[in-house]
Structure formats: structure tokens, C-alpha cells
Structure 1
Amino acid sequence: MPALSDPSAGPLPRVAPAVVADVLDALPPRLRKRVDAALDRAAEWSVAVDGDVARVEVDEETSLVWTLRGGVLASADDLVCGCLLAPKCLHRGIAVAAAGVADPAADPIADPVADDPGVPVGGESGGPREEEPSGDAPVPDVTESERVAASALWEAAAAVLRGGASGSGAVVRAELLRAVHSARVAGLHRAAAGGLRVAAALAAARASDGSFDRETLSTDLLDLLLLCHDLRSGAGSPAHLRGTARREYRPVGSLRLYGLCTEAVVSATGYAGVVTHLATEDGRLWTVPALMPGTRERVAIAAGGPVALGESGHTHRALGRGGLLLTGGTASPDRRLGAGKSVRAVAAPGAAWTDPALDALWATPLTDQVSRALAAYDLPDEDRPAGDTLLFLTAEVLGAAGSALRVRTAESHPDDAAGAHLDLTADDDLTRQNLRLLAAVPGVTRRFIARLHPDHPGTATAIAVSGNLTLPATWSSLANLSLDPLQRAHTALPNTTPQDTQPSHDMPPSHRPIPRPDRVPAPMRPLANAVHRAALGGRSIAALPDTAQYAKRLSAVGLTTSAAILTALSTAARDRHRDPFGRLNADTTSAFPTAWLLAALHVRETTRSLTRHTWLSTAEPHP
């Protein structure tokens, strides 16, 4: 065993998806049942890492040693325990069950990979680049092996749904990760990525992580089950159903780019960093990402790190406020700029949001921006053009709406005196704090960049702000809300002091905090609650008798189809068979998962339809 010289402490090494299942399968049943209860032990371990070797001294007589490949435990044989029960010991089970899951072909929001052959999207070395089918080449139908892999992933996701997040322990999660690995091997890259998101949500739920959200879990389960259903039935475009393992970068020539902002990103698949948004004078939007495996701590490192485009000398913070001259540029179809060896870039002056080079983005009517964003959300993630989901708003601050910032858009038409009332929300604590400071100064018109929520009417995530702010010179008149901490002095108007901007109970009525609207429209709330409760608590929660009361409430407001779907979900949850001794038989049918999928899909499509109507009717000028 190599000696550990100058080791550095760190978290448990990440593991490949199949390794989790392999290690847990080797455990005797009595130990496999104890893994979930013993996961807290991992928090007491101190991991020493030296190169490709990691070690934990479990006690005076026992040590765990990882042999890593690219920083990842790629094989169960590379995890060695010194106890007498090894390799069928609880220590190895804890080590893989409590660790983060790595995906060699993972495609986070954007990783600035080179456009060199053999470099997968995740940025690690790999085999030859897979050729993308040309527009004229026929795409083969879904094969039998792909259907088998999709069926295995369906069954694993169905097992998660039957037990819910609260009842899906390490063994259920391991089976899901095994199916993820099989899907990846079969070339089902979208399905594998979806399975990893569900697995990450289960781990967060078991660890009582504050990032866990049952609605997000419902969305991930819906996407995964729907994709597996379409793969098994062959519905839809085979290319879109499969997804891609490698992002293809093609030449885009020379570009004069202007920085718009830089956004912090912490993905559910274990990646963190920043994405810098850029624009050309014709209004086309581009992104330069810097994401690596890690947690929120990596955001500051990535923001202050160099941009992987040529040798411009820009950091991501500087590029979001500056400019770039790009030659020999490459980009993926969704306009993510590549960092190949042929790319040359030099720093250039930036532009304010009000300058002619960028002003047209805010001059675009809100109706057109909303239509573009909603259309983008109908596309798979890998085909969604960069920036198409963004909104460029000139709006008056009205005040706080719960934890959100309520704004009214500027007049887009001479007859539109009221404007649209929108809520700008936050995905992290720093943005939330910045929005509170902005809400404390109502009646001020500012410019915002935000990302539309397809499932929340009249709601968007705030990314950056500019206008009527007293900011440091290095900020170039704009604040990245997830990176730059605002102070009261930054938001105070010229004729006021910072103390004057603090919220007061004597605030004018029109500027008092506004109640936060529901994320789901009120008529659909009973069915949405049933869907989210089932994802969290499993079929036993979906079978509770209060479902009948929810169905009556839906019928009372005329939503008879929604009521019938909710009744079908409850019926499928209660339809259990028992053996001659009265014990429940294991349910391996698709009745309950299919009923849940139908209910979740009905909620999503109905809510999105209402969202589209709310946005467009609100944004249209008054007659």
C-alpha cells in the first residue's frame, strides 16, 4: 500500500453508481438492513487523501483504504477494509452509501470542456467522441436492449415511489443506481441523468439536508418515469429520448461579446461553480461555464478563477462585467462556448445594460420574452438555447411578497398604465438577503435579469440587478445577486440615508409586504398535494382516506377529470393483495406508479397551461 505523505482531509470519496449496488449486494441480509441506521458514523470519519489513495482510521485496529481513479471509486475491489468481516463488512457499506455519486458522463448545467475529440461533457478523459447523427441521417429506433434498460430503471423508480423518500433506504437507492449504470451503458443518457437526480434527492432526504424539497423530488420522478415510459413504448424522437453523452462543439467564428452577469450554480448532481452570461450586439446570448464536482464552497473559487477561453486574463466576475474578442470560437448547439486549443480570446471593454449594445434586450416586449422562455422549456435540457429562459425586465420595486420581491414592469405600451406584477424569487440565501434589501426601497425603477419559472405563474428567479444603485466602481453598476452581497448604502436613494431604507410598519399601504402567491394554482392544490405526499411518504400515504375529501373539493369547482384522477390514484394505492396468513404481498405491478405518473403529469400540464395564460394575459398591453 502506498505511503500517505502530507495527506489532506476531505469528504468521503465519490463512487461510481454501480459500485454502491455491488458493495451492498455483497453484504449479508442482516448487515444490509443496518446500513441506514449506521450512516451517521461516516460523519465521525476523518478522510486523509494523498493522490489516488484515501484512508480512514475507523478505530485503532480497522482502517478503510480507497484506491481512486480520477478521484472516484470506480470498482468495489478498490475499497479495502482491514476488519475481520471484510469484504462483507458494514464499514464498506457505510462508505459507499454515505458518499456522493459520481457520473463519468455527467452533463451539469455547463462544463467548459474543450472541443477536442475524446473529452466527454463531464470534463474527464474518455473514449472516442460519439458522432452525432446528421440532420439527413436516419436515427435508429429504440432497440430491445434500450427497452430492457429503461424497464429496469422504471422498476427501480417505481420501488422508490412505493416506499417514498422517507421509506427508501440504502438498498432501494443502490438498486436505482444499478439501473442508472445499466441505462448509461445502453446509451440512455437522459434517463441515467434523471436517475442520478432522484438518487441525490433520496440521499438528501435521508440526511435531513435542508436542500431537499418534495416538489423537486416529484418533478424528478415524473420526468424519469415519463421518459422510461416513452422509451419502453417507443413514443417520441429516439434521439431526444436517448440524449447525448458528449456535447458537440462546432465553429462559430469570431464574436464580439459583452458580459451580462455571472450566476452561481449548485446542481443536484454534485457540481458547483458559476455560469457567465454574454451577449452579442444582435441580441444572441451565450454562456461560459465553470463547474466542478463540489458544494457551495466552490462557487467563490470558480467566480474568482480564470475563464477557460484563450488567455484573456478575465476572471468570471470580471467577464460578467467586461467584454471579450473571440476568434476561432466553438460552441455547442445550445450556445455554450467551448474552450478548445484553437480558441483565441482577448479582453475587451464591456457595456452597461443601458448602452446600445445591450439595451435592445430590455426593449423586447415582455410577451415575446415570455413566449420564447416557455417554448424553451418544452425542449430537452441539452437542446435548450442558452439565455432563452431569461427575462430582461425594467420594473418598479413594489415591496416584499413573502421572501420574494414584488415588482411592476415598466409600461410596454402607451395604453398599458398598470404594467405586469411579477414576483422575483431566490434560490440561495445570499440572493434572498439581497432581495430583502431591494424590497426595503419601494417605488424605485431598476433593471433585472431573471429566469422564468414554467410551473409558477408570474414568478421568476432573480439573477442580477442594475439601476439606481450606489455600487463600488469595480462592480460596473451591476450586482450579481447570488455572488455580490448588497449593503443598505448600495440601495439607498441619493436623498436618503441607509437607515431610511429599513422596512417600517409605517410604510404606505401600497408598499407593505404583499402575501406570497401559491406555487400551485388553488384549484389544483388538492391533487398536487396528493402527488407530493405520495413522493415523500409512498403509497401508504396515497391510500389515506382523506383523499376522498380532496376529490370532492375538486368536483365542487368543476374539475371532475382531476377528481377522477385523484380517486384512481387512491384506489391504486389501496389495491393490495395478502397471502393466506394476512401478510401483504410484495407489489411488482405498474398500477400504482402509472396512476401516480398520470396524476403528476396532469398537475404539471394543467399548471403550465395556467402559467402560460397568466403570464401572457398579464404581460399583454391593456386594450
Structure 2
Amino acid sequence: MSVPPVFPAVVADVLDALPPRLRKRVDASLGRVAEWTVTADADTATAALDAETTLTWTLRRGVLTTADDLVCSCLIAPKCLHRGVAVAAADVAGGDQEPVEVPGEPVPGEPVPDAVEVTSDDERAAAGALWEACGTVLRAGAAGSGAVVRAGLLRAVHVARVAGLHRAAANGLRIAAALAAARAGDSSFDREALTAELVELMLLCHDLRTGVGPTAVLRGTARREYRPIGSLRLHGLCTEVVVAASGYAGVVTHLVDDGGVLWTVPAIMPGGAERVAAAASGPVAIGESGLSQRELGRGGLLLSGGTASADRRLGAGKAVRAVAASAASWDEPPLAGLWARPLPDQVARAFHAHTEPEAHRPAGADLLFVTGTVLGAAGDALRLATDGAGVDLVGDGDRARENLRVLANAPGLRLRAVARLLPDRPGTAVALAVIGDLDLPADLRHHVDLGLDRLQRSHVAGDGARELPPRPEPAERVPRPARPLENVLHRIALGGRAVAAVASARREVAALTRDGLTTTAGLLADLADASRDRDRDAFGRVVRDEGDDFPLAWLRAGLHVREFTRAAAKRAWLTEVGAK
């Protein structure tokens, strides 16, 4: 097995104890871990490195929680390279806790008001430590952020968690994982994703330090809080397959109450795509309805004493009671009302949802409810003609893509679909479930969950030719006029400050100015100047820079690109769906 996971602070504590000459050797020595044979039981793990050297971990719930619990038998321990390599190569434990039920008034889908609270001195100090750690990452870049830089970030993450800044701590862990992937040459590393995470965390730290925004939202929560919502009559909409890159998989069932509000019931567990079938056929954890997740997606539920988190995820507390109820089809209220809203309004709502923190993003806010006629295949997508526009439906997973190919072979077929909007692909959405003129067996009543069910060609009703509407032109990718500034942001995130300092931005600044993008040009010029503006001592040597000028210039540029891109994507989407 691999080395046991560690708490964030442990990495920093062990590496800080190393002499400078050994600290510099940690990154070059990480490959040794692959040669270790680690054996573990419930509370300990050991690895025999050679005939005279053994590493011993004392674990708490499978995690190394303190530096003192890692013991090496070599002569220079505890200031030895073995301990440093062991923690630098380990996965970092997130420290997630169990959900908690919170008493209070029913507030479905809304964050707790927190208008009078302000950040404390400890919180501002923790946010400042994370800001400094992000600045160090920017100066070094992912390519230069070795074990020592990553340890500094993890120490700041630990300080933030102790201070109660759980949202910032979780963001910092994602950045630390991305840095580790970059150093290891992992194909999962994405410099655009790292840039987005750095912008998000640095903006969060800036707001915490300056007291901008609702404090409760800025802090986040260590545990998902469930608050009372009373009794609900729920109708199954569909069941969505989830296979996350973070190592979790399962399903999420979407439900609708009598008022047309969407709710979710997840069944997510550690593992890969092989866990989906078990999660889909497993029992619903809410009450004692006797329904599986797949059955709930096609059935109904009577809920009493219900609880839900701010994003409308239903809780499974001991006081919650639920029994199975009759189902409603997509053509009956309240489900039919989901398709009554104009598609441009749905797109605007989905883009607004993407600006909200994920923990407070209402369930289904980024879903589109589309009605249209099948025109055929468009590359990897099913082309659907809606009223005066067109939408391409793509599948997430092999099963979904196979089902869409079956439907694409039936041009003229009228379909009603539930799909998730893709912001950076105008007119394209990930299809979750469909219904239409289909001859479905009894076990597929009401609709087809594209990620779980399997469509056959015999299920497509009718053999005659259908009248086709005009074929809309496929949408182009989102225009990115701020690409020169975006490229510099990505280069800094990957290669550090020196990359931007060496390259000249004069040509790009002039081109942006000619195109009328004077704000973008000004931000690019400011970032280029801040990258090269370095203090020197009396001998001309560069002095270590710990000021805020460069990080602030990078953050301003990152926010500009993010908002510019979002606005361009929203406009392209609205144009594609025929907004007036």
C-alpha cells in the first residue's frame, strides 16, 4: 500500500524540522516511496526502508495527525530525510466531519443571515497567512512549488481551519493537491483549474481581511448544516450518475415539491464508476420508504419532519419520516411547470447560479428543461431544434453517449430533456434524462435516465419519416478577446513570476488597445510591470519580495478575465437560444 494520509499541519511540522540541506533534497527523493513496502493495521503502519531503518506511523482513524507519531529508526531522526519524504509524498486528509442537524426556523435553500458579524483578529490573521502562501505559490509557480512551498501552504490551511475559515481551508487543500500533481507530472493537472482556484482563494482571503461580504458565507462550515423544512410532497424527476475526479462516485436523485422547487438526495461513496450501480440500486437513506434511488427518481415521497442544507440537499436525521407515494409524470403538475419557463430565462438563472458558492448553490439551479425535435448527430452531440434555436445534448459517460446515439438515429422525434448547462460551450448541455415518443418497457416508466438505463432501437417509436424543422447552425465556442491576459495568468500560475518578467507584453497591450479593450490592456501592462518591479540591495542583488503589489496585480487581472469570460459566455448562450 502507499504511505498513510496526513493532516495538513503535519507536512509543515516535519519539513520545518529538517536542516536546509535536507529540505532541498525532499523533492528529488520522492521517487523512493514507490520502492517502500508499507504494511498497516487499524492503528499503525510500518515500512522497512533497509536492514537498519524502519519508519513507523501511529494513526488516528487511518490518518497521521501529529509529527511526533511518525518515528524513524535511523541515526539522525527525527531530523531525517525519511520522515520528510514520507509526509511530502502522502495524500493530505481533508478532515471532513459528519453532517450536523441544526435547530431553527425553516429556511429552505437560503444561507443563515449574518449581517452583523465581522471577522475576528484570528480570522484576519489566518486569511493573511493564506494570502502570503498563495503569493509564494505565484512567485514560484506550480513548476517551482516543491515540498517546502506546499508545506507552507498546508500550514496556512491548518491555521485557517483552526480559525474556522473552512471554505478557505478546503480551497487551499485543492490547490495543494494541484501543486503535488504538477510536480509529479500527473495528467490530471490542469493549469486553468489551478488559476481559477488561486483566484477564488485569493479573493476570499482579500474579502476576509477587509470585511467585504457576508461573514458566514466567507467562513463556510466544517460540517454540512441541515435545518428544518417541515413536511413536503415530493415527486421524482430523474437520477443522475456522478463519477468525480476526487475519487467518489454514485448517484444523485432530483426531486420536485408541489411548489416546483427542486431538491436532491445523494448516494455518493468512495470509489470509481463501479460504485454507480450499487448506489443506484441501494436504499434511500431518508426515512423508511423502502425505495431505491432509481425507484425514487420515478416515484414519489411523503416527507415529514424533513431537514435540508442550504443547497437543498435533503437530510436523513433520526426524526425524519418518509413513505413512498405515487409518482407524477413529466406532463403533469408540478413537473410540467419546469418546462414552461422560457429557455433564455433558464440560461440566465443557470449563469447566476455559477456565481454562487457551491455550498449555497440551490439544487437544480444550473439545470435546463428543454423541449425540441431531434435533427440528428452533431459530432459527439445530439442536435435538438427548439423554438427558434438549437441545443446540442452531450452525454457524460459511455452509457449516456450510447443512448444519445440511438436517439440521434431518429430525426424528427420530439423529446423533452433535463440537461446541465456547460458555460463554456454555448448551446451545449449534458443530458441527464429524456422522455418522448418512445416505446419503453414497464421498468422505464415516465422517462429514461441516460446514465443508468439502456435504450434500444426498438424503443424509438414510429418507422415513417418525420417532418424536420430547419437545422440551426451550430454555436461557436465562447469568444475570448481577453486571451492575451489570460495566457499570462496561466503562465504565471505554471512557471512563476520570472516567466512574466522575462517576456515583453508590449505587443499584446498594443493589440488589446487597438481592439478597444483598454481596461484589459491596462491590467496586462500593470501585471507585466509588477512582475519586473524587484527591489535590489546595494550590490544589485534581488531582495526577497514579500509585498502585495505583485499578488494584487495578478488577482485584479484574474478577476477581470473571470468576469469577462463569464459575461461573454452568457451572451453567447443567450444568443444561441434565441434571446431577444
1:523 aligns with 2:492: no
1:246 equivalent in structure 2: 223
Q: Against the structure 1 CA distance between its residues 114 and 144, is the aligned structure 2 distance closer, same or farther, given a 3 Å change threshold?
A: closer
> What is the letter of the counterpart of residue 29 of structure 1?
P
> What is the letter of the counterpart of residue 343 of structure 2?
L
SS at match of 2:520: helix
2:106 equivalent in structure 1: none
Deviation at 1:461, TM superposition (A): 3.6
2:101 equivalent in structure 1: 115
Say whether the 8 Å CA contact 2:480–2:568 is kept in structure 1.
Answer: no
- Counterpart CA distance in 1 for 2:95 and 2:343 is 40
Q: 1:254-274: per-residue Cα shift (whole Å, max 9, x none)?
A: 323222233344556665443
> What is the letter of the counterpart of residue 417 of structure 2?
F
1:385 aligns with 2:371: no
1:464 equivalent in structure 2: 433
1:422 aligns with 2:422: no
1:448 equivalent in structure 2: 417
Q: 1:234-286: per-residue Cα shift (whole Å, max 9, x none)?
A: 22222222222333322223323222233344556665443222222331111
- Counterpart CA distance in 2 for 1:449 and 1:43 is 45
SS at match of 1:70: coil
Q: Against the structure 1 CA distance between its residues 451 and 84, is the aligned structure 2 distance closer, same or farther, given a 3 Å change threshold?
A: farther
- Counterpart CA distance in 2 for 1:603 and 1:146 is 28
Deviation at 1:220, TM superposition (A): 0.8
> What is the letter of the counterpart of residue 230 of structure 1?
D
> What is the letter of the counterpart of residue 31 of structure 1?
L
1:564 aligns with 2:564: no
Deviation at 1:398, TM superposition (A): 4.7
Say whether the 8 Å CA contact 1:249–1:330 is kept in structure 2.
Answer: yes
Alignment of 1:564-583 (within 5 A): 564-579=522-537, 583=541
2:452 equivalent in structure 1: 484
The correspondence for 2:19, drawn from 28, 36, 58, is 28
Say whether the 8 Å CA contact 1:200–1:268 is kept in structure 2.
Answer: no
Task: Name stretches of at least 5 consecutive residues in structure 2 with no aligned partner.
Answer: 104-109
> What is the letter of the counterpart of residue 185 of structure 1?
V
SS at match of 2:101: coil
Identity of aligned residues (%): 59
1:607 aligns with 2:575: no
2:556 equivalent in structure 1: 598
Say whether the 8 Å CA contact 1:470–1:489 is kept in structure 2.
Answer: no
Task: Name stretches of at least 5 consecutive residues in structure 1 with no aligned partner.
Answer: 1-9, 118-131, 412-417, 497-507
SS at match of 2:506: helix
- Counterpart CA distance in 2 for 1:441 and 1:58 is 63
> What is the letter of the counterpart of residue 407 of structure 1?
R
SS at match of 1:576: coil
1:407 aligns with 2:383: yes
- Counterpart CA distance in 1 for 2:213 and 2:566 is 20
Q: Against the structure 1 CA distance between its residues 400 and 202, is the aligned structure 2 distance closer, same or farther, given a 3 Å change threshold?
A: farther
Q: CA RMSD in A?
A: 3.4
* Greater Cα offset, 91-100 or 258-267: 258-267
Q: Against the structure 1 CA distance between its residues 266 and 162, is the aligned structure 2 distance closer, same or farther, given a 3 Å change threshold?
A: farther
Deviation at 1:399, TM superposition (A): 5.4
SS at match of 2:503: coil
- Counterpart CA distance in 1 for 2:150 and 2:190 is 17
Deviation at 1:224, TM superposition (A): 0.4
Say whether the 8 Å CA contact 1:273–1:298 is kept in structure 2.
Answer: yes
* Greater Cα offset, 186-195 or 244-253: 244-253
2:7 equivalent in structure 1: 16
Say whether the 8 Å CA contact 2:427–2:577 is kept in structure 1.
Answer: no
> What is the letter of the counterpart of residue 415 of structure 2?
R
1:551 equivalent in structure 2: 509
Deviation at 1:151, TM superposition (A): 0.8
> What is the letter of the counterpart of residue 28 of structure 2?
A
1:68 equivalent in structure 2: 59
> What is the letter of the counterpart of residue 217 of structure 1?
L
Deviation at 1:342, TM superposition (A): 1.0
> What is the letter of the counterpart of residue 531 of structure 1?
L
Say whether the 8 Å CA contact 1:114–1:339 is kept in structure 2.
Answer: no
Q: 1:169-223: per-residue Cα shift (whole Å, max 9, x none)?
A: 1211111111111111111122112212211222222233333222211111111
- Counterpart CA distance in 2 for 1:492 and 1:41 is 57
- Counterpart CA distance in 2 for 1:427 and 1:281 is 30
* Greater Cα offset, 61-70 or 487-496: 487-496
Q: Against the structure 1 CA distance between its residues 410 and 515, is the aligned structure 2 distance closer, same or farther, given a 3 Å change threshold?
A: closer
Q: 1:354-373: per-residue Cα shift (whole Å, max 9, x none)?
A: 44442221232112212322
Deviation at 1:339, TM superposition (A): 0.8
Say whether the 8 Å CA contact 1:114–1:341 is kept in structure 2.
Answer: no
1:157 equivalent in structure 2: 134
The correspondence for 2:544, drawn from 586, 590, 593, is 586
Deviation at 1:447, TM superposition (A): 3.0
Deviation at 1:538, TM superposition (A): 1.8
Q: Against the structure 1 CA distance between its residues 57 and 145, is the aligned structure 2 distance closer, same or farther, given a 3 Å change threshold?
A: same
